[in-house]
Amino acid sequence: MDRRLRGGFLAIVVLGAAFSTQAEGQGTLVAATAADPQHFNPGITTASHTHAVADSLFNGLVALGRSAEAVPDLAQSWTVEDAGKVYRFKLASGVRWHDGQRLTADDVVFTFKEILLKHHARTKASLSPVVEDIVAPDDATVVFRLKRPYPALLQQLDVTEAPILPKHLYAGSDPNTNPVNLKPVGSGPFVLESYVRDDRINLVKNRDYFKPGLPAFDRIVFRVIPDERTAVLALVKGEIDFLREISVSDISLLRREGIVLDRVTSGAGGGNCIMTLGFNLERKPLADMRVRRAIALAIDRDRIERDVIFGLGRVADAPISSGIGFAHAYGLLAGFTRNIGAASQLLDDAGLKVGQGGIRFKIDIAHFPQFSRYSDAMRQDLAEVGIQLLPRQLDRAAMIDAVFMKREFDTTLIHYCNGLDPEIGVRRMYVSSNIAKVPFSNAAAYRNAEVDRLFDEAAAAAEPAARGRIYRTIQEILVQDLPYWWLVETDFVAAHRSTFEGFQSWRGQFAEQARAKP
Amino acid sequence: MARPIRGAGSSQAVTRGTAPRATLIALGRRAALGLFTIWLVATVTFVLVMAAPGDPAALLIGEDGDAQVQAHAAQSFGTDRSAIVQYAGWIARLARLDLGTSISYRAPVSAVILERLPATIALMLPALLLSSATAAILGLATVPRGESLNGRAAILMAAIVSAVPIYVLGHLFILMFSLKLGWFPMQGLSDPRSSLSGLLAVVETMRYLALPTATLAMSQFVVLWLFLRARAIEEISSSYLRTARAKGLTLAQTYRRHLWPNIRLGFLHFVAARMGSLLAGAVVVESVFGIAGMGRLVVSASLARDVPLVTGIFLMAATMVVVANIAADALTIFFDPRLDEGERGAL
């Protein structure tokens, strides 16, 4: 028995050795993704788990560089005419869909009119108010006519915001239920080969890709690994090569193991994100400005930067992210250093006296479970001024229901991503027309006619300098009113093995230019 | 003279004929009750998911919201209809053995579930066998030292092992046997960089299954072991075991021939009753080791508020549990010598 056991054990070890020496296939990249994409149509959803995979199958009119500058993708050039009200795009020649059909301006017009402006929540919200018409004067030209100058347009035309879909497969169908969503035909650098739900997605190189010499990889395999810890260890061991988003707590381990880390300000779900405390202005005592100001003064944001995000980001110094340089109001929140005495005084003035057990009042805070470290830190801070913060951890569906549909919350913690222009992800938080039963809209239910007017004015101004001035005025008003309290700007960290280079981790289509190191 | 004999013969024939029929009726009753149970479980699941806060359409359209986009999606997938209408539609389809279409995966529920079964069975069945076999052997081996120091040490160890959460156990295994020693892969069921076929593929899959199976088995075996040990200790003072020992059988023979046959049925029932716990363990193990099984499907379907899929999963799971229990009952009827035919009918 003993000997047999030992024999079996030996056999296992020998087999293990035999398999572990098997060399990795040339030109294959193994990437991990945390959740199944569920389908491959990036035009009908903004869900990051779909985009993480599907963006590699499609193209946008433009691509975005590391600092969000537009570079050619399907459009090889463009001109801006009529004082910023007309954009004329010239398409690259010889672009074919994965099924061999030619990609023309007709596909672009169809995609915007029938898919993106109806089914892509972010693009519809930002573009439908400004787009007058989109036309194709010939097969290789697309013209956007706008109702007013809209300088943020190019940043919303990349593959994540506006993937171009094949008209010949989507025309006349309901894009939500079209079976092509599971058998995608794109124009991108990779083609879907096979898909095993929740297990893996195999993409192979598009040999007829219109950009010569790209992509370098023969194959990308996405492994679905829901456990973050396992994914990190698999990266260390070499079972996977690329991980789009790692937690800060894993940084030192990965550095020690020689993994290359790439810090970027945007992830698959959006860019320039600020962890934000939203006050329900329809509830007492948060309707009182003094109470909101007291809470802002009582929260130790430096400690959040140090202990919660481990320095991976910075204390927010204005309502608009520092990643949108022309609009960011540098140092606007500098005066808000932690001041318990002033906070207590404000609460006393508001008539909220210290009661039994040193408590003035109780408020809840609704948030996703993964944000509990933030609410823990704030709970301790607020306890010092007699505010008892009661965390309510909710899953995504329940959170949307509680905060945006039923408005049953006192405060909420939301990771608002500003995007590349205030039009994309700032406006929605503040304008009164966006107090709606819509996820991640104006959670505070903030109403200020002046702010509404200024947002419209800023959107129409053509000059970045002029727009910046208006956004800075808006931010000054917001800091007076404090509908939200801006905690920290958070960065994203992508990680890959040192045998590869050229990943564009800030883009949905991260592997178009990546290759194995020579 | 001949008549009574014939009479006796025929009455015997009658007994032989009716007893199995009574048994079948009993089993039929169990089956009907089982069907009702399955329907009840599925319906309660349906109601619970429908009542849970959140609209699946809001999740489908992604990270950002827009009322019209959401309304479009709700219309496409029929989630804008009232709960009653949706339930009626579900029942009507179920009558045609159609579990409907998953909202999140956009594919037939039965296909989404069935494709998970191989991985789940490959994980759960070996874990089940491994944990019950280990429990049975260890359970019997630790009986004689029931109240001794060794016995207590065994229980202490059991308490410690069962107190470690499966998640932690899985990660300990990964750190030790995969990252440090490099014996086993840490995630998935095959190597994405190579494609093996035939026997090599089977061996490779077994290598990938080693750690998850060990984790799941480890999390189950302690309870099974303690159950078996307790039952064995109850029996140990029975006179039939003393007699067996007195007539000269060794301790091992006594256990194998007399003790084990008396407690194995209870053990079997206990194992069957723990299927739910095994599935719960599989949820964690599948997440930790990145295996696309039923456990993970339950979680993702629930988070997506995918009513047809969650209901379909629970319907299948209830069916499995009911079938396992009926099978255990059937085994009891046919193998338990203590049940005479009358009792079998009453069961």
Q: Which of B66, B290, B303 sits opposite A396 (nearest CB)?
A: B303
Q: Residue B309: which residues within 8 A CB-CB, separation 6 or more?
A: B102, B103, B104, B105, B109, B112, B113, B297, B301
pLDDT at A502: 92
* Contact B191/A at CB under 8 A: yes
* Contact A26/B at CB under 8 A: no
- Taking residues A268-273, report their average pLDDT: 75
Task: Using alpha carbons, list the distances in angstroms from residue B28 to A411, B31, B338, B347.
Answer: 57, 5, 22, 11
Q: Which of residues 131-170 of B touch A (CB under 8 A)?
A: none
Distance between CA atoms of A421 and A433, rounded to whole angstroms? 19
pLDDT at B149: 58
Distance between CA atoms of B97 and B75, rounded to whole angstroms? 24
Residue of B nearest to A22 (CA): B194
* Contact A303/B at CB under 8 A: no
- Best of B48, B63, B189 to disrupt the A interface (most A CBs within 10 Å) is B63
Q: Is A488 or B326 the better-scoring residue by pLDDT?
A: A488
| Cα three-residue angle B289-A47-A89, rounded to 5 degrees | 130
* Contact A181/B at CB under 8 A: yes
Q: Where in chain A is the domain with CATH 3.10.105.10?
A: 273-490
Chain A contact set for B171 (CB, 8 A) = 229-230
Chain A contact set for B71 (CB, 8 A) = none
Q: What band does A118 get if pLDDT is binned at 50, 70 and 90?
A: very high
Mean pLDDT, chain A, rounded, equals: 90
- Taking residues A471-498, report their average pLDDT: 94
Chain B contact set for A400 (CB, 8 A) = 54-55, 58-59, 65
Statement: residue A454 has pLDDT above 60: yes
Rg, Å, chain A Cα set: 25
Statement: residue A365 has pLDDT above 50: yes
Closest CA to A388 of A298, A283, A479, A306: A298
In single-letter form, the type of residue at position B121 comes to I
Distance between CA atoms of A436 and A22, rounded to whole angstroms? 56
Statement: residue A23 has pLDDT above 80: no
Q: What band does A267 get if pLDDT is binned at 50, 70 and 90?
A: low
pLDDT in tens, A198-232: 999 999 999 999 999 899 999 999 999 998 899 99
Q: Which of A177, A225, A436 sits opposite B290 (nearest CB)?
A: A225
Q: What band does A25 get if pLDDT is binned at 50, 70 and 90?
A: very low
* Contact B199/A at CB under 8 A: no
* Contact A34/B at CB under 8 A: no
Length, in residues, of chain B? 347
Q: Strand A411-417: give its sheet, edge to edge.
A: A313-315, A484-490, A273-279, A411-417, A361-367, A387-393
Distance between CA atoms of B109 and B145, rounded to whole angstroms? 52
Distance between CA atoms of B73 and B103, rounded to whole angstroms? 10
Task: Spell out the CATH class of A273-490.
Answer: alpha beta
Please indicate whether, in this complex, the C-beta atoms of B107 and A182 are within 8 angstroms of each other.
Answer: yes
pLDDT at A319: 96
Distance between CA atoms of A459 and A26, rounded to whole angstroms? 49
pLDDT in tens, A286-309: 999 999 999 999 999 999 999 888
Residue A353 has, within 13 A of its CA and on its CB side, a CA count of 2
Per DSSP, the residues of B140-170 read HHTSTTTTSHHHHHHHHHHHHHHHS-HHHHH
DSSP-derived 3-state class of residue A223: strand
Please indicate whether, in this complex, the C-beta atoms of B194 and A35 are within 8 angstroms of each other.
Answer: no
Q: What tokens were used for A232? A: 């990190």
pLDDT in tens, A135-193: 999 999 999 999 988 888 998 899 999 999 999 999 999 999 999 999 999 999 999 99
- Taking residues A495-505, report their average pLDDT: 92
pLDDT at B64: 78
Q: Which of residues 318-347 of B touch A (CB under 8 A)?
A: none
Least confident span in A259-273, A383-397, A444-458, B178-192: A259-273
* Contact B68/A at CB under 8 A: yes
Strands (E), A251-360: 260-264, 266-267, 270-271, 273-279, 313-315
Percent of chain A clearing pLDDT 70 (strictly above): 94
Q: Which of residues 110-169 of A touch B (CB under 8 A)?
A: 118-122, 124-125
pLDDT at A472: 95
Closest CA to A246 of A63, A45, A57, A31: A31
| Cα three-residue angle A182-A53-A503, rounded to 5 degrees | 155
From first to last of the 347 residues of chain B, give the pLDDT tens digit.
Answer: 334 444 344 444 444 445 577 778 887 888 899 899 999 998 999 999 888 888 888 888 887 778 888 889 999 988 888 889 999 999 899 888 889 899 999 999 999 999 988 898 899 889 989 988 888 887 777 766 545 656 677 778 777 877 888 899 999 999 999 998 989 999 988 888 877 777 888 888 889 999 999 999 988 888 888 888 878 777 777 778 778 777 877 777 777 777 787 787 788 888 877 877 888 888 899 999 999 988 889 888 988 899 999 999 989 888 887 887 788 777 777 766 665 555 444 44
Size of interface A-B (CB pairs under 8 A): 193
Residue of A nearest to B208 (CA): A16
pLDDT at B265: 78
pLDDT in tens, A327-353: 999 999 988 999 999 999 999 999 999
Residue reference for tokens 């795009």: A89
Q: Which CATH number fits domain A28-57+188-265+492-516: 3.40.190.10, 2.60.120.10, 3.40.50.620, 3.40.50.12280?
A: 3.40.190.10
Among A268-272, A489-493, B61-65, the range with the most confident prediction by mean pLDDT is A489-493
User: CB count, 10 Å around CB of B128?
Assistant: 22
Please indicate whether, in this complex, the C-beta atoms of A400 and B174 are within 8 angstroms of each other.
Answer: no
pLDDT at A311: 84
Q: Where in chain A is the domain with CATH 3.90.76.10?
A: 62-170
pLDDT in tens, A367-404: 998 899 999 999 999 999 999 999 999 988 889 889 99
Q: Which of residues 105-124 of B touch A (CB under 8 A)?
A: 105-107, 112, 115-116, 119
pLDDT at B340: 53
Q: Where are the alpha helices (DSSP H) in A249-395?
A: 251-256, 289-298, 301-303, 340-349, 372-383
User: CB count, 10 Å around CB of A18?
Assistant: 11
Contact indicator for A79, A62 with CB cutoff of 8 Å? no
Closest CA to A84 of A149, A22, A24, A140: A149
Distance between CA atoms of A15 and B96, rounded to whole angstroms? 48
| Cα three-residue angle A89-A93-A94, rounded to 5 degrees | 145
Q: What tokens were used for A14? A: 């020998």
* Contact B273/A at CB under 8 A: no
Q: What tokens were used for A276? A: 């934000």
Q: Where in chain A is the domain with CATH 3.40.190.10?
A: 28-57+188-265+492-516
Q: Which of B69, B72, B179 sits opposite A237 (nearest CB)?
A: B179
User: Which CATH number is A62-170 given?
Assistant: 3.90.76.10
CB-count burial class (<10 Å; 0-12, 13-18, 19+) for B95:
exposed
Distance between CA atoms of B48 and A274, rounded to whole angstroms? 35
Task: Evaluate the CA torsion angle B32, B33, B35, B39 in order and state its sign.
Answer: positive
Statement: residue A426 has pLDDT above 60: yes
Closest CA to B219 of B123, B285, B296: B285
* Contact B201/A at CB under 8 A: no
Contact indicator for A76, A91 with CB cutoff of 8 Å? yes
Please indicate whether, in this complex, the C-beta atoms of A45 and B77 are within 8 angstroms of each other.
Answer: no
- Best of A46, A218, A227, A259 to disrupt the B interface (most B CBs within 10 Å) is A227
